[in-house]
Amino acid sequence: MSALRMGRRLPRRTVPRALMALGALVAIGFVAVNVAIGYVVIDGRLDGQWYDVRDLGIGVQELREWLDDRNAQQPGILDFLGQHWISYAVTALLGATGILSIVGGALLILIWVERRLIGRMQIRRGPNRVGPYGLLQPIADAVKLIQKEVLMPRGADKVLFFLPPALIFIPMIVAWGPIPWGAQMAYLDVHVGILFLIAVSSLTTLAIFMAGWSSNNHYALLGAMRTIAMMISYEIPLSIALLSVVLLSGSMQLSTIVEWQSTHNVWLAALLPLAMFTYFFSSTAELNRTPNDIAEAESEIVAGFHTEYSGMKFGLFYAVELGNALFVAALTATLFLGGWSLFGLEEWIPGYLILGAKISAAYFLLVWLRGTLPRFRLDQLMKFAWQFLIPLSLLNLLIVAVEASVFARWEVKGIVSLGLFAIVNWAAAIILVREWARRMGYRPEREAVRQPILTQGVGGLQAARRLGAPEMGTQV
């Protein structure tokens, strides 16, 4: 053994046992407190509608009513803003603070989680220097980013360059409003929840285009143009996929969709596989995650629309990227994986923990994709959207529409008809994907896996012709 090898060996245990024990204790305590609260909640020890201290939505509603009452008694000086302005302002601030603290906290952990996970996938350790297991790395990153100088390129449009980091943050926060974290635990449980989400998440594009245009940089502009093209293409299959969810569950309200899944004891993922795939794939396209991260394709256009941003402005873009990924995971979990319900287990475990677990699973899938796959080309992605996803999701929508009307009219036992639907939809998904791909000219069996020719002799052009190697210019 050389000294070299000896020096390589790191001390095995870098974290003391006491610290690990402390962490375990904290975790157990957290779970115990939650179970206790859940027990109290479900048992109804706190009576009345105001039964959950963590219930943001109802708390906000209570507050608004109380404020309205007060306001009606004492007219204020700002009444020209409308009758309820103070209650709306206060509740909005409260809700935004709540979401921001939850999502912000999650982001801090997620940065670490993603880097650790990708590190593991790439046979590295990932961040492990700042704090125990490198847990403080995101904070160190944030401190570094805040300290860095924020540059503005010469020739940039100053106003438009200044706005996007803030503008892009708003849709990310607002979109979290309708997500139900438990029974009656949504901050903004609007009746047209899905419509609201589609509308809000499209706003991100505007900020991205502003950033790309105002940077006065070709890379940024290319990234922005690509984003627009992707958004136009993928918004359609995404909306159609969500529409089939709406058709089957009969509601646009997210809490109702979760309750539908809970009462029928089924996940929509089992019923609508194609819709789920379409939604997930389109979302990765809109999120700029691999394999569809063409808008900020690092190897081509450096960083896309945020090439020119530095310091904490870049940090905001980065955070929004992660936050949007987390949001897509949350929406997938809510719409397709049963949300906060888990086949009756939600009576024993608080709903937000269940949802959190599902979000983590969906998020892990996103990280996994990123750690594994190369990237598509722009035109390939466009082609995939227009020639494949849109027709397929339209056909799927047709099938689901028929099923939904059957489900609404016939009073069969839910388990029978839903089981039938599941079988029909899975079969339809497999057949549709297969046949449509073949229609588009995908013939995997016709092309053998290409292997280089092996030869012993050397030569030039004549030898090349003899080997019959280059069928040049043949399009593949």
Partner 1 sequence: MPAGPRQLSGEAVAAPVAAAVPDAILRATDEWVEVRPERIADVLRFLHDDADLDARQLSNLCAVDRHDRFEVVYHLQSLDRNHQIVVKAIVGEHDEPSLPSATAVYKGALLQEREVYDLMGVRFEGHPDLRRMFLWEGYPGFPLRKDFLQIPEHHPGLPKFPFEESGVQAR
Partner 2 sequence: MTAATEPYVLNIGPQHPSTHGVFRLRVVMDGERIQDVEMVVGYLHRSMEKLAEERTYTQNIPFTDRADYLAAMSGNLGYCLAVERLAGVEVPERASYLRVIFAELQRIASHSMANGTFVNDAGAWQTPLMYMFRERERILDLFEMTCGARLTTNYMRIGGVAFDPPEEFYPAIESLVDELPERIEEYAELLVDNEILLARGRGVGIISAEDAINGSLVGPMLRGSGVPWDLRKAEPYCGYDRFDFEIPVGRQGDAYDRFLVRLEEVRQSTKIIRQALDGLPSGPHKTQIPLALRPDPGEAYARVEGPRGELGFYVVSDGGSAPFRFHIRAPSLINLSLLREMAIGASLPDAIVALGSVDIVVGEIDR
- State yes or no: residue 123 binds partner 2 (CB under 8 A): yes
Q: Which of these segments, 57-65, 241-249, 420-428, 461-469, binds partner 2 (CB under 8 A)?
A: 461-469
Minimum Å gap between C-beta 462 and partner 1 is: 5
CB of 449 to partner 1, least distance (A): 29
Q: Say whether 211 sits in a helix, a strand or coil.
A: helix
Show Cβ contacts of residue 317 under 8 Å, excluding neighbours closer than 6 positions.
Answer: 165, 168, 211, 306, 309
Measured from the CB atom, the residue of 439 and 465 that comes closer to partner 2 is: 465
d(CA 251, CA 239): 15
- 460 counts as binding partner 1 under rule CB under 8 A: yes
374 binds, among partner 2, partner 1, none (CB under 5 to 8 A by kind): partner 2
Among 1, 10, 449, 458, which residue sits at the site for partner 1 (rule: CB under 8 A)?
A: 458
Are 306 and 296 within 8 A, CB to CB?
Answer: yes
Per-residue contact flags (x/-) with partner 2 for residues 79 to 108, judged by CB under 8 A: ------------------------------
- Contact call for residue 461 and partner 1 (CB under 8 A): yes
Q: Does residue 330 sit in helix, strand or coil? A: helix
Kindly state the DSSP code that residue 447 receives in the 8-state scheme. Answer: S
Sort 305 into a burial class: Cβ within 10 Å, 0-12 / 13-18 / 19+. Answer: buried
Question: Per CB under 8 A, does 462 bind partner 1?
Answer: yes
Among 40, 142, 357, 373, binds partner 2 (CB under 8 A): 373
Residue 118, binding choice from partner 1, partner 2, none, Cβ under 5 to 8 Å by partner class: partner 2
Q: Taking a C-beta distance cutoff of 8 angstroms, is the pair 252, 194 a contact? A: yes
- Pair 220, 308: CB distance under 8 Å: yes
Residue 407 contact, options partner 1, partner 2, none, Cβ 5-8 Å cut-off depending on partner type? none
Among 298, 406, 415, 431, binds partner 2 (CB under 8 A): 298
Residue 51: both structure tokens together: 């039964």
- Which two structure tokens, joined as six digits, stand for 123? 């046979």
159 binds, options partner 2, partner 1, none, Cβ within 5 to 8 A by partner type? none
The C-alpha atoms of residue 181 and residue 354 are separated, in whole angstroms, by 9
Q: Report which of 252, 331, 245 is spatially closest to residue 287, judged by C-alpha positions.
A: 331
12 interface partner picked from partner 1, partner 2, none, CB below 5 to 8 A per type: none
